[in-house]
Amino acid sequence: MFNVKLALKYFLKKPISWLATLAVAISVFVVLVVMTVMHGLVVDYINKTHATVGDVIVYSDSLVGFPYYDRLLGEIDKQNFVEAASPVIKSFAMLSVAGGNRGLGVNLVGIEASSYNQVTEFKSSLYRKIDNDKIFTPYFDSKKSGCIRGILIMNSKNYQGKFTHNPLIFEKLILTCFPLSYKGTLLKAASGIVDSKSYYVANDSDTGLASVDSSTIYIPFTDAQMLCGMDSTIKRASAIYIKIKQGESLGECVDKISQLVQRMKEQNENDKFSMLLRNVRVEDWKTYKRESIAPMEKEQAMLTALFLLIALVTVFVIFVVFFMLVHHKLRDIGILRSVGISVFKINGLFLLFATMIAIAGTTIGALGGWFFLRYINNLEGWLFREFGWQLWNRTIYDIGEIPHDIQTEVLCVIIICSLVASLLGAFFPVFNVSRRDPVKLLSVDQ
């Protein structure tokens, strides 16, 4: 009763407690905002990467590809943990624009539209929304062959992350490939295999990953197979992307598919294509994309470490604030002790006081963070309009808007840490001081 009353008075009447509240609030605010944004960026990048390849990938890192993929695909499709699987051709091509520049090197990806769309989120990356079966149909002439172009090829983004011009879907592109025999030698064009083909741009793909969107051309699977020579002697593919059913363990699925691949390798051990099978691997999406994910994850680990440091500093600041607060009140503690109030009650009084500051500070900080994150994109836009300054330059960084969804777990951890830090920060100095003889406390000049 008395405790509550005095704690409340301390809390409401003292500028130093407002300062302490502010210190707690700022700490909570900063940690919440930066954690949310950074976490959002990393998670967004990893999700986008995942969205381009499915869950499990069977692939050969040879440009020649691997045979019997259709049989393997049949086996994989029969597995009850598999949602969908899609064969993919991956190679390189030279891109020329009819009447324009020549010889742009691109990644060529051959896909089977319907299964590919089941495995990946490719369809939602398309700039012009369209049905599966018309995915490669040029907009203005359905009889011509069409391709899908990474949206950053021949296009760029403005500061808002919008494309500088509408994609030119009437453009005609010429793709030139280097078809390879199953032995890995170049096939001659004279042998009757087409190595060059024209396409009209049917659509643009905006996966949100700059490295993909600036270098990839998608064409129908069979076209790619032909252009790359993968239909010569024996039909081949570069990879099979697999989506597993929800709730299945990724690791177990990789193991099971590995067994299928192993069996296929054994069955064909003695035929002349067996060496092509030797390069075939099975990996989950994280391993398959580790080259692009690992740096991001490294960055996240580093950020987490940095944040531990910031959190440590924050806890220290809170500790110091409470230490000063308690020492600011030494005389009062002496007075309370001299009229016979127990150490226990005095500790309780200050812990209550600290709790008030902690709760007020944390609430203000969290609300402030929430409000700031809610308007962070407006703020960034305003800064750009007024001062031409952009936090993440959208012509370089591949983010639509700054992430601003507060993670509940992150919020809870921050709140708990802030409360604990405040209470510990108050407890140690109070505990240390309140046991002294009253005379020692009263003799301080305050």
Partner 1 sequence: MSKVLLQTKSLSKSYKMGATRLKVLNEIDIAVKYGEFVTIVGASGSGKSTLLHLLGALDKPDSGKVLFQEEDLSKLSSSALNRYRNSKVGFVFQFYHLINELNVLENILMPAMAYCSAIQWLRVGGKYKKKAMELIEKLGLQDRAKHKPYQLSGGERQRVAIGRALINSPALLLADEPTGNLDWSRGQEILSIFSQLHQQGQTIVMVTHDQRVAQKADRSIVLSDGRITE
Candidates 319, 356, 415; CA nearest to 14 is: 356
Q: Is 19 in the site for partner 1 (CB under 8 A)?
A: no
Residue labelled with tokens 């902690």: 358
Task: Please report how close the Cβ of residue 331 comes to partner 1 at its closest, in angstroms.
Answer: 7
Task: Please report how close the Cβ of residue 435 comes to partner 1 at its closest, in angstroms.
Answer: 9
**Cα–Cα distance for residue pair 236/224, rounded to 1 Å:** 11
Task: Please report how close the Cβ of residue 10 comes to partner 1 at its closest, in angstroms.
Answer: 6
Q: Which of 19, 324, 419, 442 binds partner 1 (CB under 8 A)?
A: 442
Task: Please report how close the Cβ of residue 439 comes to partner 1 at its closest, in angstroms.
Answer: 4
Nearer residue to partner 1 within complex by CB, 14 or 265: 14
Structure token digits, residue 396: 């370089």
**Cα–Cα distance for residue pair 34/40, rounded to 1 Å:** 10
Task: Please report how close the Cβ of residue 9 comes to partner 1 at its closest, in angstroms.
Answer: 4
Task: Please report how close the Cβ of residue 5 comes to partner 1 at its closest, in angstroms.
Answer: 8
| Binding residues with partner 1: total (CB under 8 A) | 26
Task: Please report how close the Cβ of residue 321 comes to partner 1 at its closest, in angstroms.
Answer: 19
Nearer residue to partner 1 within complex by CB, 9 or 278: 9
Listed in sequence order, the DSSP H helices in 329-342 are: 330-338
Q: Which of 161, 348, 400, 438 binds partner 1 (CB under 8 A)?
A: 438
Task: Please report how close the Cβ of residue 432 comes to partner 1 at its closest, in angstroms.
Answer: 17
Nearer residue to partner 1 within complex by CB, 4 or 312: 4
13, 16, 17, 21 alpha-carbon torsion, rounded to 10°: 140
**Cα–Cα distance for residue pair 52/289, rounded to 1 Å:** 10
| H/E segment holding residue 84 | strand 82-97
Nearer residue to partner 1 within complex by CB, 158 or 446: 446
Task: Please report how close the Cβ of residue 38 comes to partner 1 at its closest, in angstroms.
Answer: 42
Nearer residue to partner 1 within complex by CB, 286 or 345: 345
Site string for partner 1, 378-397 (x = CB under 8 A): --------------------
Nearer residue to partner 1 within complex by CB, 313 or 439: 439
CA 338 to chain centre: 60
Amino acid identity of 89?
I
Nearer residue to partner 1 within complex by CB, 149 or 337: 337
Nearer residue to partner 1 within complex by CB, 336 or 358: 336
Distance (Å) of CA 319 to CA 225, 313, 324, 428: 66, 10, 9, 9
Nearer residue to partner 1 within complex by CB, 4 or 98: 4
Amino acid identity of 118?
Q
Residue labelled with tokens 């840490």: 417
Nearer residue to partner 1 within complex by CB, 190 or 339: 339
In contact, 98 and 170? CB cutoff 8 Å: no
Q: Which of 183, 385, 437, 444 binds partner 1 (CB under 8 A)?
A: 437
Footprint (CB under 8 A) of partner 1, residues 351-380: none
**Cα–Cα distance for residue pair 288/302, rounded to 1 Å:** 22
Footprint (CB under 8 A) of partner 1, residues 317-346: 331-332, 334-343, 345
The distance between the two most distant Cα atoms of the chain, rounded to a whole number of Å, is 107
Task: Please report how close the Cβ of residue 339 comes to partner 1 at its closest, in angstroms.
Answer: 4
Residue labelled with tokens 């035929």: 271
CA 422 to chain centre: 33
In contact, 197 and 175? CB cutoff 8 Å: yes
Structure token digits, residue 130: 């369209």
Neighbours of 127 (CB within 10 A): 17
Q: Is 102 in the site for partner 1 (CB under 8 A)?
A: no
Q: Which stretch binds partner 1 (CB under 8 A): 56-64, 301-309, 359-367, 436-444?
A: 436-444
Q: Is 430 in the site for partner 1 (CB under 8 A)?
A: no
> Three-state SS across 115-161?
HHHHHCCHHHHECCCCCHHHCCCCCCCCCCCEEEEECCCCCCECCCC
Contacts of 396 (CB under 8 A, 6+ apart): 210
Kindly list the residues in this chain that would bind partner 1 in the complex (CB under 8 A). Answer: 1-2, 4-6, 9-10, 13-14, 331-332, 334-343, 345, 437-439, 442
